[in-house]
Amino acid sequence: MNNLTIKQFMENLSTEAPVPGGGGASALVGSVSAALCSMVASLTNGKKKYAEFQCDIERILKETSVIINNMQSLINKDAEVFEPLSKAYGIPKDDPTRNEVLEQALRLACSAPMEILLEACKIVPILEELTIKGSKIALSDVGVAATMCQSAIQGGVLNVYINTRLMKDRAFAQKTDEQAKKICMEYIPRCEKVYKFVEEHLTTI
């Protein structure tokens, strides 16, 4: 997936092909969010006006580089973990192994969107820092990054739920749902707060 051009990725995304899908799209926007944060940090890096934050900016550049790479890897992983699930759905319903194979495939399919959620969480404190420490000429980009991060979180959690709802092991499913919901409840309001901060500081109304 990572070797595709943007045009090719979008063309694939728009077809009936099972991958890329919502999970891959969530990882993509998560990567975009981290890249925007990196851009803001790059524009701030070495500037005398923000010298007091130089160490933090250098750290942010390192952190965002890792997140970008991880999110891009998760685009591929989301496609890879869906393949066993797709095959499991094709097993005849009277096959005695179907339920066990499907259950394992559903767990595997949950792994990528859960990782997307956990990666996206790492972006949120960076967004919060950049509202204060980032170059003010790129403040709007921090706001855009916040919307992308929020989309990655919301998209990731839906891709968790679509799999857990079909699991026979309801205890595992509930535990996974609770973990995903906890992430949403904590980090989505923080993304919204960053966006609101940016909006209030840019609007003249």
- 120-153 confidence digits (pLDDT tens): 999 999 999 999 999 999 999 999 999 999 999 9
Q: Are 34 and 71 in contact (CB under 8 A)?
A: yes
- Within a domain: 143: yes
Q: Residue 52 belongs to a domain with what CATH number?
A: 1.20.120.680
Q: What is the CA radius of gyration of the chain?
A: 19
Q: Are 101 and 60 in contact (CB under 8 A)?
A: no
H helices of the chain, in order, are 6-13, 22-44, 54-89, 98-133, 139-164, 170-202
Rounded Cα–Cα distance for residues 107 and 6 (Å): 30
Range of the domain at 29: 22-200
Rounded Cα–Cα distance for residues 202 and 205 (Å): 9
> Which pLDDT does position 205 carry in this prediction?
55
- Within a domain: 131: yes
> Which pLDDT does position 115 carry in this prediction?
97
> Which pLDDT does position 107 carry in this prediction?
95
Rounded Cα–Cα distance for residues 30 and 192 (Å): 15
* Backbone region of residue 46 per phi and psi (left: phi > 0; alpha: psi in -120 to 50; beta: other values): left
- Within a domain: 6: no
Per-residue pLDDT of the chain (205 residues; tens, 9 = 90+): 667 788 888 888 898 877 788 899 999 999 999 999 999 999 999 999 999 999 999 999 999 999 999 999 999 999 899 888 888 988 998 999 999 999 999 999 999 999 999 999 999 999 999 999 999 999 999 999 999 999 999 999 999 999 999 999 999 999 999 999 999 999 999 999 999 999 999 986 5
* Domains identified in the chain, total number: 1
Q: Are 172 and 57 in contact (CB under 8 A)?
A: no
- Within a domain: 11: no
Q: Are 155 and 22 in contact (CB under 8 A)?
A: yes
- In the numeric block, which tokens belong to residue 45? 């890096």
Residue 50: DSSP 8-state: G
How many Cα atoms occupy the beta-carbon half-sphere of 156 within 13 Å? 34
Length of the chain as a residue count: 205
- pTM confidence score: 0.92
- Within a domain: 16: no
- Within a domain: 128: yes
- Within a domain: 122: yes
- Within a domain: 130: yes
> Which pLDDT does position 204 carry in this prediction?
67
> Which pLDDT does position 9 carry in this prediction?
82
